[in-house]
Amino acid sequence: MSAGMKWYAVRAISGQENKIKSYIESEVEYAGLSKFLGQVLVPTEKVYQIRNGKKVSKERNYFPGYIMVEAELAGEMIHTIKNVQGVIGFLGEVKGGDPVPLRHAEVNRMLGKVDELSEKDEQINIPYIVGETVKVIDGPFNGFNGTIEKINEEKRKLEVMVKIFGRKTPLELSYMQVEKE
């Protein structure tokens, strides 16, 4: 990070962050201001879901509606970024004033969070507790509701008590086969 470069949070239309990120990069390039632009980031995290019985990973925006821009806001740089299609403005900007840069602690936490999220690929936290009611979303008992009796963290399995034909039956299911009610 050079002396004049600081991180700013740019507000953007939610759901179009990646498109707007590329717009910002190309507009700055077109205006000949590339030397004032560092990185443009859309912080994302990996989320796992079950679809049709398969584990699918999906990237989800960590800060929906925001793009992190490392830039030196000299000359026309502010106007170039603000005039990009889909950009609402800079975060923390006082009307008519200059954009407020992010603090170092915030930037480090944000960048650390981005790195941390890409590293802990397979880490899925256990959002379930014993006694909680869950709905089976995969397998032969799809659609049944049951109560969690035991949680096996090593195997990533739950023992769920389901009422089938009026009798309680224990099922061993993976975390990905159930969802909270």
Asked if the structure places residue 127 within a domain, the reply is no
Query: Do 65 and 105 share a domain, yes or no?
Result: yes
Q: Cα–Cα distance between 51 and 179 in angstroms, integer?
A: 13
126-165: pLDDT as tens digits: 678 889 999 988 888 888 999 999 988 777 788 999 988 8
Q: Per-residue pLDDT for 125 more than 70?
A: no
C-alpha neighbours within 13 Å on the C-beta side of residue 6: 18
Query: Do 167 and 145 share a domain, yes or no?
Result: yes
Residue type, 92: G
Q: Cα–Cα distance between 122 and 112 in angstroms, integer?
A: 18
Q: Please, what is the end-to-end C-alpha distance for the chain in angstroms?
A: 47
Instruction: Report how many domains make up the chain.
Output: 2
